[in-house]
Amino acid sequence: MQSIPQHVAIIMDGNGRWASRRGLPRTAGHRRGAKAVRRIVEFAAQHQVRELTLFAFSSDNWQRPLGETTVLMALLQQYLCQEIRTCLEQGIALEVIGRRDRLGRSLGEAIDRCEGATAAGERMRLRIAVDYSSRQSIAHLMMQCAASPSARQVLPSSPPHRRHRLSDQLASVVHAKRPIGDVDLLIRSGGERRLSDFLLLECAYAELYFTDVLWPDFTAQNFATALDAFGLRNRRFGGLSEASVTGQDPQVRHAR
Ligand code: FPP
């Protein structure tokens, strides 16, 4: 059976280009992008993905024109209000990660309502990153450690324990309800090949998949293709593949 990534993270890029190629305002691309979100969430939940983290708005996106950031926040709020029912039907726990202090009051209330209503979802955890910056969250955690001896317990002696505490504490910095798992597959649409300050620690051993498809055009089939590509990757996490230990790895034989 093909291996399914437990945690998929997606940088949903290309909304603006999708719109401008059609002579439409950029915000039209974001509206179509929200439709793509609905398809992909449903597909992921049906294909045994356990965690799906979507990059909807980076802390650097505040540099965009006010009209665009306002529409993006309104789309998010609309999404949260409309998707509660689908999340409940599909067993999806939805949460928003990132800074909360710069979001409007009504969006904050919609987040609380949606998180509260869907918290018991067991099938998949859907995280939407809003006003999120991986670098800022790491820096914030380091400042907490410097200021408080108890926060410094993030760095105890044994490595597996250390990793666990680190993700616990990072989760609290970005308001995640549970620790964010390591990303298995990072997908970026829209043709660029970079991480753009998204889940930098969690992507330490992520398989990266880049596609030129613009996000509003991203279909369930495109997602399935990314899952197929993941299934063909040989993940070693810094160790050796079984084949190279047993001498079956063609690359190793060639090098001898
Ligand atoms: C990047 O494309 C996309 C964004 C900054 C916003 C992503 C938002 C959505 C997909 C819709 C709302 C989200 C939810 C969860 C309902 P870009 O605008 O930078 O595109 P460009 O590179 O072509 O300009």
The pLDDT tens digits of the residues spanning 132-147 come to 999 999 999 888 888 8
Out of 13, 20, 96, 197, mutate this one to test ligand 1's pocket (max ligand atoms within 8 Å of CB): namely 13
Residue 249: which pLDDT band, with cuts at 50, 70 and 90? low
Measured from the Cα of 78, ligand 1's closest atom is 16
Token reading at 38: 């609905």
Q: What is the mean pLDDT of residues 152-163?
A: 56
Question: What residue owns the CA closest to ligand 1's atom 7?
Answer: 56
Ligand 1 centroid to 95 CA: how many Å?
18
pLDDT at position 164, please? Answer: 63
Averaging pLDDT over each range in 137-141, 149-153, 246-250, which range is the top one?
137-141
What is the side-by-side strand order in the sheet with 51-58? 92-97, 124-132, 51-58, 7-11, 185-188, 207-210
- In angstroms, what is the span from residue 11 Cα to ligand 1's centroid? 9
- Ligand 1 centre and the CA of 106: distance in Å? 21
Q: pLDDT value at position 25?
A: 97
Question: What is the band of 159 on the pLDDT scale with cuts at 50, 70, 90?
Answer: low
Task: Assess whether pLDDT exceeds 90 at residue 48.
Answer: yes
Q: Going by CA atoms, what residue is nearest to atom 24 of ligand 1?
A: 16
Q: Are strands 7-11 and 92-97 parallel, antiparallel or unpaired?
A: unpaired
Question: Per-residue pLDDT tens for 75-130?
Answer: 999 999 999 999 999 999 999 999 999 999 999 999 999 999 999 999 999 999 99
What would the pLDDT profile of 177-236 be if each residue is shown by its tens digit?
989 999 999 999 999 999 999 999 999 999 999 999 999 999 999 999 999 999 999 999
Query: Is 80 exceeded by the pLDDT of residue 174?
Result: yes
Which atom of ligand 1 is the closest one to the Cα of 76? 16
Active site members: 13, 61
Question: Does the pLDDT value for residue 242 go beyond 80?
Answer: no
Say yes or no to pLDDT of 251 above 60: no
Please tell me the predicted confidence (pLDDT) of residue 240.
86
Contacting residues for 18 by C-beta, under 8 A, at least 6 apart = 29, 32, 33, 214, 215, 216, 217
Q: Long-range contacts made by residues 176-181, C-beta under 8 angstroms, separation at least 24? A: 176/95, 176/97, 176/127, 177/93, 177/95, 177/115, 177/119, 178/125, 180/51, 180/53, 180/97, 180/127, 181/6, 181/7, 181/50, 181/51
List, for residues 49-83, the tens digit of each pLDDT value.
999 999 999 999 999 999 999 999 999 999 999 99
**Burial status of residue 128 (CB atoms within 10 A of its CB: 0-12, 13-18, 19 or more):** buried
| Ligand 1: lining residues by beta carbon, under 6 Å | 12-17, 30, 33-34, 37, 54, 56, 61, 72, 75-76, 79, 128, 190, 215
| Ligand 1 atom showing the smallest separation from residue 19 Cα | 23
Closest protein CA for atom 11 of ligand 1: 34
Mutate to test the pocket of ligand 1, among 63, 107, 215 (most ligand atoms within 8 A of CB): 215
Q: Which helix (H) or strand (E) holds 124?
A: strand 124-132
Q: 3-class DSSP state for residue 126?
A: strand
- How far is the centre of ligand 1, averaged over its atoms, from the C-alpha of 56 (Å)? 6
Q: Which of 10, 11, 15, when mutated, tests ligand 1's pocket best, judged by the most ligand atoms within 8 Å of its CB? A: 15
